[in-house]
Amino acid sequence: MSTKIALAGNPNCGKTTMFNDLTGSNQYVGNWPGVTVEKKEGRLKGEPDVVIQDLPGIYSLSPYTLEEVIARGYLVNQRPDAILNIVDATNIERNLYLTTQLAELGIPMIVALNMIDVTRKNGDKIDLRKLGEALGCEVVETSALRGEGSREVARKAAMLAGKKAGEPPHVFAGSVEHALAHIEDLITHRDGQEAVHHHHADGSRHEGGIVPDHLARWYAIKLFERDEKVREELNLPDGIKDAIESTIKDCEAEMDDDAESIITNQRYAYINRLVSTCVKKGRPKGALT
C-alpha cells in the first residue's frame, strides 16, 4: 500500500514548483471527477511508494468555490495519510487562514514555510518552534524554487502516515468552544442519543455515531457556520438539527454577531496574535535595498 500525501496551499504559494521538484517526470495529469479542474498526482522521486496528490490552490475550505469543494471533499472523504501544507512565508497572515482550517481535519500535517529565500533576504525572523507548537505540527523552511528543504519536508510528511494528528490550534473564544463542544457531542453520539449511521463515500460506517471522532471538530465548525454542503451531506435527524440551531443562536446572541462571521473574525484575530509573537519583520515589504 502506498502512502498518500496531499499538497495543499493558497494560489501562488509555490505549490506547482514544489510538486514538480518532488515528482519530476513521474506525474499523471487528469481531471477531478465530473469537473474540468486539473488533477495532478505523482510519485516522490526515489520513493515510489509515496504518492503526492496535488490539490487545487485555495484560500479557505468554505463551500463557495469549486476548487474549495474539490479540495475539502478529497481531504474529508479520501483521507490522505498526511497533508503537506505549503505556506508562502512572504504572505504568512493570509496563508495561515487556510492552515488553521486544515489543522481541524484530524489529518497529520506538516507545514512547508516556502519562499524562505525571500524572507531571509528581507531580514524577517520567524520562530519556527513557536509557530509549530501553536499550529500543532512541525514547520520546515523551504525554497521550492531552489529545491531547498522540499525533499526533507516530503519525507517527513510521509513519516507522519499512521500517526495521530496534532492538537489543533486554539483559535476560538470560550463561548464558541462551548458551542462547538456541544455540537460535537450531538454528532458523535456521545450524549446517548439513538445511533444514526452515516455512510461515507468509502462505504465505511461509523458505529454508534454520526461522524467519526477524528472529524468531529471539523464537522462541528462547519455546522456552526451553517455550511449548506455539510448540512446536506450529513442529513441529520430533525431533533439534532434543532438542537444545533439553538446552540448556534445562543452563541450568536452572546457574541452579537452571526455565526459565520464569528468564526472568520476569530480566525483572523488568532492569526494576528500568532504572527505578532512568531514573526519579526525585517525590511518592510516592497522596500528597496
Cell of 113: 514555510
Residue of the chain from 85, 99, 143, 188 that contacts ligand BGO (CB under 6 A): 143
Spatial distance between the Cα atoms of 270 and 247, rounded to a whole number of angstroms: 23
Beta carbon of residue 49, minimum distance to ligand BGO (angstroms, whole number): 25
Cross-sheet strand order for the sheet of 27-31: 27-31, 38-44, 47-54, 3-9, 82-88, 109-114, 138-141
128 or 255: whose CB is closer to ligand BGO?
Answer: 128
Which candidate, 229, 245, 256, places its Cα nearest to that of 173?
Answer: 256
Residues 45-74 that bind ligand BGO (CB under 6 A): 57
Under rule CB under 6 A, residue 37 binds ligand BGO: no
Cell of 31: 481531471
Segment interacting with ligand BGO (CB under 6 A) among 59-67, 123-131, 139-147, 248-256: 139-147
Number of residue whose CB is nearest ligand BGO: 14
Residues 145-204 that bind ligand BGO (CB under 6 A): 145
Segment interacting with ligand BGO (CB under 6 A) among 9-17, 29-37, 71-79, 97-105: 9-17
Under rule CB under 6 A, residue 99 binds ligand BGO: no
Spatial distance between the Cα atoms of 135 and 16, rounded to a whole number of angstroms: 24
Segment interacting with ligand BGO (CB under 6 A) among 14-22, 30-38, 156-164, 181-189: 14-22
Grid look-up 519530476 returns 24
55 or 274: whose CB is closer to ligand BGO?
Answer: 55
Residue of the chain from 3, 7, 8, 17 that contacts ligand BGO (CB under 6 A): 17
Q: Are strands 82-88 and 47-54 parallel, antiparallel or unpaired?
A: unpaired
Give alpha helix (H) positions in 172-285: 174-188, 216-224, 228-234, 238-255, 259-278
Segment interacting with ligand BGO (CB under 6 A) among 71-79, 142-150, 220-228, 251-259: 142-150
Cell of 269: 484575530
Beta carbon of residue 288, minimum distance to ligand BGO (angstroms, whole number): 17
112 or 160: whose CB is closer to ligand BGO?
Answer: 112
CA 245 to chain CA centroid, nearest Å: 25
Q: Are 139 and 275 within 8 A, CB to CB?
A: no
Segment interacting with ligand BGO (CB under 6 A) among 5-13, 39-47, 98-106, 162-170: 5-13
On the 0-12 / 13-18 / 19+ scale of CB atoms within 10 A, 199 is exposed
Kindly state the number of chain residues that form the binding site for ligand BGO, as judged by CB under 6 A: 16
Q: Are 41 and 32 within 8 A, CB to CB?
A: no
Cell of 231: 448540512
Under rule CB under 6 A, residue 118 binds ligand BGO: yes
Give the residues across from 152 on adjacent strands: none
Residue of the chain from 13, 87, 243, 274 that contacts ligand BGO (CB under 6 A): 13
Q: What is the binding site for ligand BGO (CB under 6 A)? A: 9, 11-17, 57, 114-115, 117-118, 143-145
